[in-house]
Amino acid sequence: MAKTCKLCGKRRSLSARGYCDECSSRLNQNATAQMRAKSGPIYERWKTNRLKALQKEVDAEKPLPEYPETQQPREPELPDLPEYPEENGKHRIN
């Protein structure tokens, strides 16, 4: 299939996104201008994506950890030791 620039339609060597060098640099300038002006479709899309990403981060923080960081983790419970059999007072001093 013929590779033509998505913007100007000319056959040139295209960037990965399908624009020629000329158009992609113009798009970059346009995008930069929109970001600086905080308006325009590129800025709006960036903002939407950024908000979505932030929302995902916020969601990922839930649920809150069960123990606050300052609280020591509980020691694992030790298994019960076997009871030593009575030795008929063998070790009694009295």
| Residue ranges in contact with Zn ion by CB under 5 A | 5, 7-8, 20, 23
Closer of 8 and 33 to Zn ion (Cβ): 8
Beta bridge partners of 20: 14
**Shortest Å distance, C-beta 12 to Zn ion:** 6
- Kindly tell me which of 3 and 47 has the beta carbon lying closer to Zn ion: 3
The contacts of residue 50 (CB under 8 Å, 6+ apart) are: none
Q: Which is nearer to Zn ion, 7 or 35 (CB)?
A: 7
Integer Cα distance of 18 and 24 in angstroms: 9
